[in-house]
Each structure stands twice: as C-alpha cells, then as structure tokens.
Structure 1
Amino acid sequence: MDAKTIAWVSYLTLIGWIIAYVSYGNLNPKSSLATYHLRQSFGIMVTSLALYIAFWMLVFMVPFLSFFITIIWIALVVLWVLGLISALNGEEKPLPVVGTYFQQWFQFIK
C-alpha cells in the first residue's frame, strides 16, 4: 500500500487501522502522511471507546443525559469524516480541537 492508501484505510474501523498499521510497518521509507493519519484515527478510536464506557455508565445513573451524549457522538462522527476527507485528499490537516493533542499524545506511532 502507498502512504495515501494507508492514511484513509486507517479510518475504516479498528480492523482497517490494524491493516493500515501493519502495512505502514512494511512501508519504506516511512511517510509523514501515513504516520499523521494513523495518529489521528487512533485518537478518534481511543476517544470513542473512553466516551462509550463513561457514557454507558452515566446513562443508567442520569437518563436525561442521553440527548447530550447523542450530540457528542455526532461530533465524533463529524471528526471521523473530516479526518477521512483529509486523508483522501492527501493533506496533513489536524482535526478541530483535538488533532494537535492526538499528534502529541500518540508519538509512539512512528
């Protein structure tokens, strides 16, 4: 796979991310585009998982929060779409609000 393909495949669920990461390991030389989007998509997945666990517990305690939780899920889907579009265009454009943090926090993806 080339770098651009790795970048957009990384946004296709956890399995897509794993396939992209394994393909990235075989990529020589390493691409900043692929690294960038592997970090961004990993950040979206980790954030989604953490919020899912937290919200799952909260909804049982405070049911009326489900409306706000729905809004947050929609925001995550919007971030996912923006990241995917950026990858398809071959751009290293950070996700709004969280993108720069994902690049700092997930430096272990090299």
Structure 2
Amino acid sequence: MTPKVQSILSYIGILWLVAYFGGKEERNDLSRYHLKQGLGLLVASLIFNILVVILLTLIPSLATILSYSGIIFLILMILGIIAAANEAKKPLPVIGKLFEGKFEFIDK
C-alpha cells in the first residue's frame, strides 16, 4: 500500500485500521501525519456523538438541530481526504492542530 493510499484511507473511519496495519513498512512522514489527523478526527467524532446522545436524552427537543451536526465531521473528512490526495500536510480546520503532536505510537 502506497503512502498516498494510506493517507487517504486514514480519514475513513474503520479503514484507519487498514491504513495503519496495512502499510507499516512503506509509511513515510506524510502518511504518519495523515494517520494522526485521521485518528484525531475519529476520536473527536466519537466523543461528539456520545455528547449528542447525552444531550438528546436530557433535551429531546434538540433532535432536529443535532441531527445535522454530523455533517460537520463529514466535511472535515472530505477536507482531509483532499489534503491527503494532494499530498499536502494541511491540518484539519478547527481540530487539526490539536492532534499534530499526539499519537506517538504511529511514529514507531
């Protein structure tokens, strides 16, 4: 698996595992960067979804507003895939800078 393919797959949820385990021997700096950004996006979206479920349990009238909030993570995923396809080290808007120094296990 090429580093470019790893970078693209790292933004697609469960395929992050395929990108991580599938190309360890061909990993370069760009693919490591996008693996960190993709994992950060996955973690952020999981935490956000847990918070949405809690909020909907407490305040069911927010269902219409919160049902569209998942589109934000879809847009972030698409922006990450575009950056990976262009082979650019560009952080995700809003949350990307949070994950640049994290997830050291990816560097090994």
- TM-score calculated relative to the size of structure 2: 0.88
State the identity %: 35
Cα separation, 2, equivalents of 1:71 and 1:105: 29
**For residues 11-37 of structure 1, what are the alpha-carbon distances to aligned partners after superposition, in whole Å with 9 as ceiling and x for unaligned?**
2221x111110123222xx41110011
Q: Secondary structure at the match of 1:105?
A: coil
**Which residue of the partner structure matches residue 76 of structure 2?**
79
Cα separation, 1, equivalents of 2:92 and 2:38: 10
Q: Does 1:52 align with 2:55?
A: no
What amino acid maps onto 1:11 in structure 2?
A: Y
Cα distance change, pair 59–42 in 1 and its aligned pair in 2 (3 A): same
Answer whether contact 2:10 2:20 (CA < 8 A) is retained.
yes
- The runs of 5 or more residues in structure 2 that have no matched partner are none
Cα separation, 2, equivalents of 1:7 and 1:84: 8
- The runs of 5 or more residues in structure 1 that have no matched partner are none
Answer whether contact 1:24 1:34 (CA < 8 A) is retained.
no
Q: For 1:57-68, what aligned pairs fall within 5 Å after superposition? A: 57-68=54-65
Cα RMSD (Å) of the superposition? 1.5
What amino acid maps onto 2:3 in structure 1?
A: A
**Which residue of the partner structure matches residue 100 of structure 1?**
97
Cα separation, 1, equivalents of 2:42 and 2:96: 13
**Which residue of the partner structure matches residue 10 of structure 1?**
10
Runs of 4+ in 1 over 4 A off after TM superposition: none
Task: Give aligned pairs, total.
Answer: 107
**For residues 55-103 of structure 1, what are the alpha-carbon distances to aligned partners after superposition, in whole Å with 9 as ceiling and x for unaligned?**
1121011123234423431211111110011111111111111111111
Cα separation, 1, equivalents of 2:19 and 2:32: 10
Q: For 1:30-41, what aligned pairs fall within 5 Å after superposition? A: 30-41=27-38
